[in-house]
Amino acid sequence: EDQVTQSPEALRLQEGESSSLNCSYTVSGLRGLFWYRQDPGKGPEFLFTLYSAGEEKEKERLKATLTKKESFLHITAPKPEDSATYLCAVQKRNNDMRFGAGTRLTVKP
Amino acid sequence: DTGVSQDPRHKITKRGQNVTFRCDPISEHNRLYWYRQTLGQGPEFLTYFQNEAQLEKSRLLSDRFSAERPKGSFSTLEIQRTEQGDSAMYLCASSSLDGPGAFFGQGTRLTVV
């Protein structure tokens, strides 16, 4: 059965303390992997798409990487405004997208 | 604003009533998705359209739920005979056929009392 698992469930960091979020997946026919940011009460905001193992994407303090079994979202020197829930989703070849439960990130000043 | 638009943003209804939500996708996007999200969970897939064709439905989408996308433009999600367990945020997203990812609306928060 297709599964998307994110870890940790919650992460508390001090401002400037770099860390990584994990998304592991078992999906038949992966077409792409997506990272989203979601603030409370709002819809998810698109961050990155990764299509093949070895691919990397960067945006400000965030960098996403992909292997055949997992993806990492690296956060370098985070700021309090990076606090949010980060969601990972996989898109299968039939084009539907399935999400993980998310990692709730809190960055303290 | 050319993003995905959902209406209403909030809906409070009594148990047993029917409700309908609307989603207007980004105009050039062929694909449209509906998700349901409860507190502390990731979005759960409900259904997916490519143009006007409903290509996939989740087992979560019981016979009380129906979605349409007439003419491949806006979409509606109807819930009949609402139950308290239907209380959630209902999210709509759209993407192009070769797009980098799906873009979400702000959601409709449903509360069934």
Tell me if B102 and A34 make a contact (CB, 8 A cut-off). yes
DSSP designation for B43: P
Is B45 within 8 Å of chain A by CB?
Answer: yes
pLDDT of amino acid A23:
98
Which residue has tokens 């290509």?
B55
Which residue in A43, A46, A102 is closest to B106 by CB distance?
A: A43
Tell me if B106 and A101 make a contact (CB, 8 A cut-off). no
Length of chain A counted residue by residue: 109
For the four alpha carbons of A39, A44, A48 and A54, in that order, the dihedral sign comes to positive
Number of neighbouring beta carbons within 10 Å of residue B69? 22
Tokens of B85: 């367990």
Tell me if B42 and A101 make a contact (CB, 8 A cut-off). yes
Which residue in A4, A95, A100 is closest to B48 by CB distance?
A: A95
pLDDT of amino acid B1:
53
Residues of chain B contacting residue A42, judged by C-beta atoms under 8 Å apart: 106-107
* Residue range B37-66, pLDDT digits in tens: 999 899 999 999 999 999 888 887 889 999
The Cα B89–Cα B112 span in angstroms is 12
Residues of chain B contacting residue A27, judged by C-beta atoms under 8 Å apart: none
Tokens of B80: 């009949």
pLDDT of amino acid B43:
95
Smallest Cα–Cα separation from B15: which of B108, B91, B110?
B110
DSSP annotation string for B65-102: EEEE-GGGS-EEEEE-S--GGG-EEEEEEEE-TT-SS-
Q: What is the mean pLDDT of residues A61-81?
A: 96
pLDDT of amino acid B96:
87
